[in-house]
């Protein structure tokens, strides 16, 4: 009997760039999608861009309350099989909230077999004190981590989820330096290859994706060794649980 199960995927940050591209790739592959945007009017723009009416959830991922509301909206739509944690920022006042805390909370609050996290090769340049994580202001009142730091943290989060949740595939993706609003029009890497990798991992149809790993253009790479340090991962999860009042589960 033919398998008629359709994969359903939440993609965060779909108003443009990598997120919008991943959304289109998933639709082309026959998946159902849930588009996340910050403002309700952006859903119409997304629908026109992909040529289809898509269900959406709305919320500012810089605000924990709104992240929780996004999770509730996803549940009301019937849940998802995978989450592409694509939304990101380079604004150092927001990198901790958007690039790290929001993916952590959505991982904790949105049940899914597959989680895909947006990393960056810049995570290798992080100067964060991973031994103590001292000096990090998890409230976001003052900026205490750089963009590179945030990408090391989310890469470590992905590795921790893959380690601690049997049966869950948690993958981090370096999309490359691609021509998005963040990357700039002159960025030299392949935008399509970046979002294609996110969608490919979220679909989980290729047996090669049935792992938890670090990827660049559909090939595994070794992340910075700090991201795979179990002690660092455990310290990070403890800090995130305290900062959000929510365990990873």
**Tens digit of pLDDT for each residue in 138-162?**
998 899 999 999 999 999 999 999 9
Q: Which CA distances in Å does 75 have to 68, 71, 139, 208?
A: 11, 6, 26, 29
- Is residue 29 predicted with pLDDT exceeding 60? yes
**Per-residue confidence (pLDDT) for residue 134, from 0 to 100:** 85
What's the pLDDT at 104?
98
| CB distance 83 to 115 below 8 Å | yes
Residues in the chain: 249
Confidence of residue 249 (pLDDT cuts 50, 70, 90): confident
Please tell me the pTM assigned to this model: 0.94
Confidence of residue 81 (pLDDT cuts 50, 70, 90): very high
186-206: per-residue pLDDT in tens? 555 666 777 999 999 999 999
Q: What is the pLDDT of residue 100?
A: 98
Span 102-116, average pLDDT:
98
Residue 6 has pLDDT above 60, yes or no: yes
How is the chain split among helix, strand and coil, in percent rounded to 5?
A: 45, 15, 45
Asked whether residue 1 carries a pLDDT value surpassing 60, the answer given is no
Question: In this predicted structure, what is the pLDDT of residue 2?
Answer: 42
Burial class (CB in 10 A: 0-12, 13-18, 19+), 114: buried
**Whole-number average pLDDT of the chain:** 93
Domains and CATH numbers, the chain: 8-243 (3.40.50.720)
C-alpha to C-alpha distance for 89 and 98, rounded to whole angstroms? 7
């Amino acid at each position: 009997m033919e398998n008629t199960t359709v994969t359903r995927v939440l993609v965060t940050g779909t108003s443009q760039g990598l997120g919008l591209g991943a959304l289109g790739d998933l639709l082309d592959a026959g998946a159902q999608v849930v588009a996340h945007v910050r403002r309700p009017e952006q859903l119409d723009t997304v629908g026109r861009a992909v040529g289809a009416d898509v269900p959406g959830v709305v919320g500012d991922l810089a605000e924990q309350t709104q992240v929780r509301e996004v999770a509730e909206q996803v549940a009301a739509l019937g849940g998802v099989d995978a989450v592409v944690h694509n939304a990101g920022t380079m604004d150092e006042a927001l990198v901790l909230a958007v690039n790290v805390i929001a993916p952590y909370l959505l991982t904790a609050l949105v049940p899914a077999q597959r989680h895909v996290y947006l990393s960056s090769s810049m995570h290798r340049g992080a100067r964060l004190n991973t031994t103590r994580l001292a000096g990090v202001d998890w409230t976001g009142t003052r900026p205490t981590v750089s963009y590179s730091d945030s990408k090391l943290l989310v890469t470590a989060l992905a590795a921790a989820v893959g380690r601690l949740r049997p049966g869950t595939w948690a993958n981090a993706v370096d999309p490359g330096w691609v021509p998005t609003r963040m990357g700039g029009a002159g960025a030299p890497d392949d935008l399509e290859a970046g979002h294609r990798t996110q969608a490919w991992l979220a679909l989980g149809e290729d047996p090669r994706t049935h792992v938890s790993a670090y990827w660049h253009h559909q090939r595994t790479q070794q992340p910075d060794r700090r991201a795979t340090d179990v002690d660092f991962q455990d310290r990070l999860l403890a800090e995130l649980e305290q900062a959000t009042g929510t365990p990873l589960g």
